[in-house]
Structure 1
Amino acid sequence: MKRNFIYIIVGWWCIQFANGQTLESYLAEAEKNSSEILAQQLQYESTLEKVNEVGSLPNTQVGVGVFAQEVETRVGPQKARFSASQQIPWFGILKAKKENAKLLATAKESEIDFLKRQLRLNVKMAYYNLYTLQQKYNITQQHIEILDTYEKLALNELENNRSNMVDVLHIKMKKNELQQQFQEISETIQSEKAQFNVLLNRPITAEVLVLDSLQIQENTILTTMEMLEKHPKLQQLDAMEEVLQQSEIVAKKEGNPKIGFGLDYVLVAERSGVSMPDNGKDIIMPMVSVSIPLFNKKHVSKQKQLQLEQEAIVQNKTTVKNQLRIAYEQAKNKLKNAMESIKIQEENITQANQAKEVILAAYQTDKMDFEQLLALDQLKLGFEMKKINDFNTSLANTAIIEFLITN
């Protein structure tokens, strides 16, 4: 059941870039280079040309005949016959066909809008993934540097008999594990950049610039179902429904008679040796013809087909509306959960830092507890990774919401 509106208060993540044109420039480049969008635009232009095609009259028929044996008439022998005829469709059918072609172009235009919107979503998702990987790269690198410091400190403590070799080896194992993760992230970044370039239809080795930081702020928005109903997929189905309705009108008009007009001109030679009025006078014969559809079953069947297709479109619109609503509710829920999770991870990171400060403060009077220190750093690393994943989730679902409701 259609609701008049849904009042939803959600966190809307407005992304403020240090260079605000960076992502937008990639979006513009992707749209400019997209072969799929270009192909659809060419098809759209072709559909517009169809308007001129269907609005034209059928070909004029012209004929020339020469009598193999002359036909004698009172005024002379017939030498040749020239004829021309033009068939004219029933009143209003050409206009109906032109309107049908225009509606087809409108449907194609909605398809182009959808492709542009889908491309923007894909580029945003890829960009946000690169940003997330870059943040993970930096976080991992920082923790490797921290472990380097711990290793030096543990070796120094070992020389002073305040530590043991187990602590040193434990730190080395943790560092080796992080270095492996660091290498995997680095390789994944290169792979994602290559895929990003493919998405923008440019050389695979082209440079991809990803900003070091993104700031976000919360806003409140009012979302109505009318915003979802302006989605290009629904607009395309609306246009296709109008196309089918207009096609039904065309099919009905095609069941009407067709009128033809023609003219025959017969060339007559003069009779020799005879003096008479109109000797050798050519014959002019205007003609009118009517094509009567006595067997109209095919036109009735065509109308029935178009009516059934219209009913199918109505059902498809209901399906698409439900899919858009589900996608919106899911994105809104994921966005809300990610926002809450980010706050929790920030609190956890703060508490981990405080606990670390306590341990380091105790080092002034007691030996270093490397086991506890490593466990805290491992927890902090997990919190930081979870936070950046949640940040990515919030960005991705913001992009999905924009894909669903942005006009």
Structure 2
Amino acid sequence: MTTSLEPDRSTLPEYPAPRARGCPFDPSPEIRGLQQTAPITRIRLWDGSTPWLVTRHEDVRALLGDRRVSANPTLPGYPSSSPGMVARRSHARTFISMDDPDHARLRRMVTAPFAVKRIEAMRPAVQRVVDGLLDDLLAGPKPADLVQAYALPVPSLVICELLGVPYTDHDFFQRNSRLLVKRDTSPEDSVAAQQRLVGYLDDLIARKLAEPADDLLSDLAEQRVRTGELTRREAAAMGMLLLVAGHETTANMIALGTAALLQHPDQLAALRETEDPKLVAGAVEEMLRYLTIVHMGRRRVALDDIDHGGVTIRAGEGIVLAGEIGNRDPEVFADPDKLDITRDARRHVAFGFGVHQCLGQPLARVELQVAYASLFRRVPTLRLATSVEELPFKHDGQVYGVYELPVTW
């Protein structure tokens, strides 16, 4: 095994690295090259730290499932993705930034509403949301911004219904969520946005304690806060996580996936013309693999020395697990840069892997299946109202997507 001597920072590749000009849907060619030449190697982050970058699919899965790897951002050596994240890490921590047993104990409190059968039962409600928004889109002016008219409100309406958050407050929580997921948000603004959201949900949970309803926040209030298992503030932090994650990621997938499909008319036609729900479900898995919108890698820190893939990762050293590159690994996915909705892409790591894999993935899958299939079926002539080169991609985001998607039909 090789050892992890202090590297020469000036020679290390920066991460994240820019995408190739004209290839907005593909990962950075520089980082992609490392997958073949140095699949576990040192990189340089924004703060000068030099964690390990892991780029092969097998290694990403193995280390995400390794209990010697911690998700705790307060530990020395954790590779934070932005100054804002550093500022927020000791405020309003949630289970995604904890290790077991605390992670498992808190996650179990909100697992049941996201179970596959319960989410599948929501499909008709998701379809009604989508149909209503498409009615409005088709009746409105052209061109339209598909982000504001469709991609953002679909998951926002659904997660609001599930949590018991008034959708009338969507401008407030969407605005503050955007500040949390931008890498260049100042530490002060990032903490302030977090505190505004937690304060809002704290007040909402107080109202749920007084007047419970049939929603997830009411269940948290009644079963966890009233019993003293959680403080109201802890429940509010958990609610913030579910609210932000529940609309930001899926909204970006709907918009970015639409843009990608419009650039691949053969794949779009196959999706639009099918009535096979299995093909639609498979297409969503392929879109998740192909785009992998969490394009900053999953961040971890080693708790013990780990010998893996020919290197020794020392205790206290940071690890960045680059799922966006892992999902383009030719050892796992043949011709990985090709978008092929008939591919069996179920081994992708777009939702992570191991105990921390995304809690809301059943909901995201249903939303994406309904959103893509309904959009292209009801708006068969949908097309971009600008060139793909002029789309404002979220190169500055923790989550990749587009800020606007001008379309017409």
TM-score range, shorter chain: under 0.3
TM-score (norm 1): 0.23
Q: TM-score, normalised by structure 2?
A: 0.23
Larger helix percent: 1
Larger radius of gyration: 1
Q: Which has the higher strand share?
A: 1
